[in-house]
Amino acid sequence: MQAVENFIAAEPAIAELLAARPAFKMHAQDGLCFEDVPLNAIADAHGTPVWVYGAGSIRARYAALVQAFADAGLAPHIHYAVKANDHLAILSLLRGLGAGADVVSLGEFSRAQKTGVLPSNIVFSGVGKSRAEMAAALTAGIGQINVESAEELRVLSEIATGLGQTARIVLRVNPDVDAGTHAKITTGRADNKFGIAAHEIPALYAHAKNLPGIEPVGLALHIGSQILSPAPYAAAYGKAAALVRTLRAAGQQVSVLDLGGGLGIGYQDEPGISLAAFANAVRQQVGDLDVTLLLEPGRYLVGPAGLLLASVTLEKQAGTKRFVVLDAAMNDLLRPALYDSYHGMLPVSAVEFVSPVSPAEVVGPVCETGDTFATGRLLPGFAEGSRIALLDAGAYGAVMSSPYNARPRAASVLVDGGKFDLITPRQKLEDLWADEILPNAIK
Ligand SMILES: *Cc1c(COP(=O)(O)O)cnc(C)c1O
């Protein structure tokens, strides 16, 4: 198998970015279309910056994941990781496809419930669940709590007992595997804050069995995000399988293995993880364990199904550099500033799409040097008002946005069946301060 973890991505030309994304087409008159809807029509109707999500892309990605596992003879329960994109429209769409939810806060738990996801189909993860979150989740009838430490287990037992409830829990194992991803999104190494060291699991599992209000049913892992190779998964799942056998040999019941998420997508011209190779790694490592398998994909399902549509405010020359200043900024899409991440950019105009390119710094108007979407990106010359699609922004995009620099939150739109619906209006200026209170003394 090709060692994709060593893949060094070259800067793809804009024609290559387009060719690799079948949901996008360039039309001579209409310009760039996404799922058959001209992006110009969306920008004309709702302005920019605007998030655009494609229902067809999400459905297709969900179906491909289910199919890859079916081909491997497996049928894991899919619990969509809400933190990737928590819009009610996205959650409803995924719930309709049969997905449960993986949540990391009471807010996400409530959002998932709001769209009709049954509490019994929700998994609660995270290293720092508060007592209030545990109590609310238990009261609502949460399906599974992924416990990340002995300390948390003790508190959960106390709360469940107080409520007269039994918490169905799995222990999150830290398999000490390097997922080969960005340091800020790797989670499965021994010195990360996540999970419980493998050697501590057998004793803690036995302890959990004896704790009041606690029913241990299995193990969970989540080794990181944007993982492009099945190799770290195979290593981690192999360790999990060994632990399941150890637990069973000690007389414990183990019926659930939560495989986590982290499936990587192609942002540049690197291939996304092979679903077939991933599903086969799962089958090889844990296929014979006779456990219910859970998957918690976030980015894989929604990342390529979304884009941020922006307009060019102006181009300026500073020293030797050409700056393209957009009306979108780091407060909208934080990933480039936070993780140096790459987002492909496509001009919306068919004429600009084929115009000669030169290197550009693509920046937003926020007063931070970090407000940079790309450096040295080969792009055509833009006029004021030219539109640009920032690709693969459906995951960890809008959820991380903020009103920094008092910039109202962008609108969002869902494209479905050749039509589009506004799903979040652009925030109004007065809404920026609507919740703020002036003490009498300084009025
Ligand atoms: C973030 C997270 C996920 C989803 O990660 P993706 O990389 O978006 O698939 C799944 N499970 C847990 C516990 C997480 O923290």
Instruction: Report pLDDT digits (tens) over 289-315.
Output: 999 999 999 999 999 999 999 999 999
pLDDT at 10: 62
DSSP 167: E
User: Which CATH entry fits the domain spanning 55-301: 3.40.50.970, 3.20.20.10, 3.20.20.70, 3.30.1370.60?
Assistant: 3.20.20.10
Give the tens place of pLDDT for each residue, 374-413.
Answer: 999 999 999 999 999 999 999 999 999 999 999 999 999 9
| Burial of residue 262 (number of CB atoms within 10 Å: 0-12, 13-18, 19+) | buried
Which string of DSSP letters, residue by residue, matches 395-408?
A: SSSGGG---GGGPP
Mutation test of ligand 1: which of 62, 296, 301 has the most ligand atoms closer than 8 Å to its C-beta? 296
pLDDT at 439: 96
Give the tens place of pLDDT for each residue, 78-136.
Answer: 999 999 999 999 999 999 999 999 999 999 999 999 999 999 999 999 999 999 999 99
The class level of CATH for 14-54+303-432 reads mainly beta
- Flag the least confident range among 21-35, 96-110, 178-192, 326-340: 178-192
In three-state secondary structure terms, 99 is coil
Residues facing residue 172 across a β-bridge: 220
Give the Å distance between the CA of 160 and the centre of ligand 1: 26
Question: pLDDT tier at 5 (50, 70, 90 boundaries)?
Answer: very low
Mutation test of ligand 1: which of 82, 127, 170, 225 has the most ligand atoms closer than 8 Å to its C-beta? 225
Who's near 318: CB < 8 A, 6+ residues apart?
A: none
- Flag the least confident range among 39-48, 58-67, 172-181: 172-181
pLDDT at 443: 85
pLDDT at 86: 98
For the Cβ of 260 lying below 6 angstroms from any atom of ligand 1, the answer is yes
- How does the average pLDDT of the chain come out, rounded? 95
Cβ(216)–Cβ(210) below 8 Å:
no
pLDDT at 11: 79
Residues of the chain with CATH 2.40.37.10: 14-54+303-432
3-state per-residue secondary structure call for 263-290 = ECCCCCCCCCCCHHHHHHHHHHHHCCCC
- Tell whether the model's pLDDT for residue 8 goes beyond 90: no
- Tell whether the model's pLDDT for residue 65 goes beyond 80: yes
Structure-token match 């909208």, residue found = 332
- Flag the least confident range among 147-156, 174-183, 199-208, 254-263: 174-183
- Which two tokens mark 54? 């494609």
Give the Å distance between the CA of 390 and the centre of ligand 1: 22
Check 1, 3, 249, 367 and give the catalytic one: 367
Tell me how far the alpha carbon of residue 77 is from its chain's centroid. 18
How far, in Å, CA of 204 to CA of 304, rounded? 39
- Which two tokens mark 155? 């508190």
In three-state secondary structure terms, 200 is helix
Residues facing residue 81 across a β-bridge: 102
Residues of the chain with CATH 3.20.20.10: 55-301
Cβ(224)–Cβ(188) below 8 Å:
yes
Report CA torsion sign: 414, 416, 421, 423.
Answer: negative
Catalytic-residue membership of 367: yes
- Tell whether the model's pLDDT for residue 219 goes beyond 70: yes
In three-state secondary structure terms, 207 is helix
pLDDT at 247: 98
How far, in Å, CA of 309 to CA of 26, rounded? 15
Q: Ligand 1, atom 3: nearest CA belongs to which residue? A: 261
pTM: 0.95
Give the tens place of pLDDT for each residue, 242-266.
Answer: 999 999 999 999 999 999 999 999 9
Average pLDDT over residues 22-35: 97
